[in-house]
Chain A
């Protein structure tokens, strides 16, 4: 039972990590520190 619980916790942690990182795939990378001229 304890092993099963540990396995569940581990899977949950791994899943939450991978989904967090997937959200960030293909995201813009805008650096706002400098001021650009207009379009």
Chain B
């Protein structure tokens, strides 16, 4: 916002200062302009001449230069804060937040600055504080004024709202919003690698392999060019995951090893557990179970027990032991995993571990009841198609083994239909 912008938006600020000074419109206008003229200025229905602005402000005890300086400094702070969030510098971002959080009442009179301030707050609560409730409140506030946003601000808003949905695991709605942000990005003609990263990540969560690779590759090139090495690592993990899904093991291993080496060199603790799990999963898919177990165990060592993915690693560790026929170890980890999943109310992994337990113990009747009464209804309610398909297949196989072909075929049919739905989405 330059000097002219300040003049154009000064009306509401004059009104704010007049009320702060306890003056009436008559008192302020006296000797400078007419009351109706001042009223129009205050309502931003008329842009006053600079001379009148100077006279009004003089009477209010402030100079236009001071306002210019305030707006300029505030904007600088916002830029500083946005940059700190971008490079994940929590300390600096929080410092800026603390410095500017109380200025809302003053900048409320400069709409464009205020919208940027709201967008900064949203970014801060999403990426630094990770506070979903507070983010939702800010989204609602911006939602009311979204028609007044400029193209750049609209892009940011839909981008951040998309991320908000994805953080709530609502990836499909998140994707729609991120795509909307992409349309605005194209209008601004300014490339936003962060948006491309989020599109790649969301496509990856939705198992759309082609677009996950496409967006992550473009984002990776930009992050490498701008030396944003943390985001570069994130992109490489997405690429590793998606090449693994199409069984391009060498490419997948290339990216995972690359991230692993860099993490070790720069001692980045946050990603260590994640990359070790993915390396374990890579060897698991390659049926090299001994290597897989080593990586899974290392991953668990590096993960905090509060990590949401802790029981996921245990689950695959159990599967690896099961494949190596090390039944005692598998049972030992099932026990630990069940305790952990129960403690953290992670019902999905609790059910999956329970299924492994039934499979290991060959308790067919209890297993069938568990699948029919607990596992399938739960995954159906959670709309978790991949896990639902897995359970339907187990159930159908059980019926088939018992020569109950009719019941088996009903479940195979359901499985087939859901599988088609999954495949349709993956195209």
A residues near B (Cβ < 8 Å) are 20-21, 23-39
Contact = CB atoms under 8 A, between A and B. Distances in A.
B252 to A, nearest CB: 10
B384 interface: yes
Contacts, number: 82
Contacts of B339: none
A12 to B, nearest CB: 14
B309 interface: yes
B82 interface: no
A32 B348 contact: yes
Main SS class of interface, B:
helix
B400 interface: no
B238 to A, nearest CB: 7
Main SS class of interface, A:
loop
A9 to B, nearest CB: 14
Interface string B89-114: 00000000000000000000000000
Which of A20, A24, A35, A36 gathers the greatest number of chain B CB atoms within 10 Å? A35
17 contacts: A20-B380, A21-B414, A24-B388, A26-B172, A28-B384, A30-B171, A30-B205, A30-B384, A34-B241, A34-B245, A34-B281, A35-B273, A36-B204, A37-B233, A38-B234, A39-B198, A39-B201
A21 B309 contact: no
B169 A30 contact: yes
Contacts of A39: 126-127, 163, 166-167, 198, 201
Interface string B208-248: 00000000000000000000000001100110010011000
A32 B205 CA distance: 8
Nearest to B166: A39
A32 B271 CA distance: 17
